[in-house]
Structure 1
Amino acid sequence: MIIAITAFSLPKPITHAEARAIFLSTAPTYQDVPGLLQKHYVLSEDGGTAGGVYVWASRAQAESMYTDAWRAFVRGKYGTEPSVTYFDSPVMVDNVAQKVFTY
């Protein structure tokens, strides 16, 4: 399993309510994306940085998301350049399912 964390500094801080509205407007874009298991939108406490934590089935599927077109979308929506960092996730604790998964 691959975790991708995206982040970008916002031109000006936004509130939780503003972030929620913006994030809801883009959420449908991420539904039914092959290999994307979960996406968590994130906003720093000061509202100056936003991004996402993505859980992917594979690195190849993750890399297929973060294209030049995706970067242009982020620049157009938020006015800033995103960063993407990948992590291998060999073990996951799921407290809802009460299980530990290995990959």
Structure 2
Amino acid sequence: MITEFEFDFIFGRPAIFAKLQLVEETIMLIAIVQIPGIERSKEEAITAATGSAPTFSKLPGLLRKYYLNGENGGGGVYIWESREAADAWYNNEWSAKMEKRFGAKPRLTYYDNYVVLDNSSRELRVDGALAELGS
């Protein structure tokens, strides 16, 4: 289970920092959606996010969504149970809907999550199982 997650920009590129508390053998899929050209104030971003949250709260397999807003555009970081769950959401209809809504084609990038280093608990996990961190 993800207990904390931060998103920031380092050298103008998105960087993700996550604190994970994983159940053994848990492998998650991380999807990052970027929509260039969206410029919203903090208030506009919060209004849009809270308005869409009920839809995302009902998606099968979506564990968590982080709404993104910044000078490079908007988007989200999605933590999915599996690739199949993510693919059920990110289909051709979704892409066309996002492009129509925001006037820009979204960029979708998938990442498998095999290894997690949690510096706050000094834990290293490989495929969800605790591993030797070393010195």
If the TM-score is normalised by the length of the shorter chain, which range does it land in?
A: 0.7 to 0.9
Q: Identity of paired residues, percent?
A: 33
Alignment of 1:38 with 2:76, yes or no, is no
Q: Output the amino acid matched with 2:30.
A: I
Asked if structure 1 preserves the Cα contact closer than 8 Å seen for 2:39 and 2:74, the reply is no
TM-score calculated relative to the size of structure 2:
0.62
Distance 1:38 1:9 in 2: 22
RMSD of the alignment, in Å?
2.1
Deviation at 1:27?
1.4
Which residue pairs with 1:88 in the alignment? 112
TM-score calculated relative to the size of structure 1:
0.80
1:71 to 95, 99, 104: 95
1:13-53 alpha-carbon deviations (Å, 9 max, x no partner): 21111111112221111112111100111112x2x410000
Alignment of 1:52 with 2:52, yes or no, is no
Distance 2:67 2:124 in 1: 24
List structure 1 segments (4+ residues) > 3 angstroms apart after TM superposition. 98-101
In structure 1, runs of 5+ residues without a counterpart are none
Instruction: Give the total of aligned pairs.
Output: 97
1:28 to 27, 35, 54: 54
